[in-house]
Amino acid sequence: MKIKDHALVELRKNLHPRTAVQNIAIVVFSFTVVIPAMTLWGASGVVHLFGFIRALPLAALFATSAVGGALACALYYPKPGYWKLGIVPGAIIGPCILASLLLYTSWREHIIGVELMIPFLVGGAPGYFLYRFLLLRRERQERPTLPGSPASRYGKAL
């Protein structure tokens, strides 16, 4: 198996929630990004519980989603020392999801609940791919190089 394959297997294994800290990260993300987005959209069950969110300024909601996304992504990866890699992608994911949901729902009169996955996926994609790239790069750097591989001849930068 190549070094790249080992890194991908490790990354896939660690991105599935298995620990209590990962579950806490999901809860933080839900309360700072998903619930405010659903409240601003006007989901009836969410508005009854979290209606006060609509009274907050939009800038405060974007700041909250950036901080919550950064904290959630920093907590999510279970290996020690990887928390720094999640700060920037998380700070991108939170406000992008919030903005894409607001833009998507602003011009629509009727929305089906499943349809809300479109702005969540589109808004979260840039930060998610940056997060995966940074994690994969870090996993590759920590793997030992195999003898005879291009990385062993030219350094670990390949």
CB of 90 closer than 8 Å to CB of 77: no
Q: Does residue 90 fall inside a structural domain?
A: yes
148 lies in some domain: no
- Using CA of residue 19, residue 25, residue 28, residue 29, what is the dihedral sign? negative
Total domain count, the chain = 1
- Give residue 94's domain range: 3-143
156, part of any domain: no
pLDDT in tens, the chain (158 residues): 555 566 666 666 666 667 888 888 889 998 898 888 878 777 666 666 777 777 888 899 899 999 999 999 888 877 777 888 889 999 999 999 999 988 888 787 777 778 888 888 999 999 999 988 988 888 777 776 656 665 555 555 54
CA distances (Å), 124 to each of 27, 35, 59, in order?
17, 15, 19
Taking the model in full, what pTM does it have? Answer: 0.75
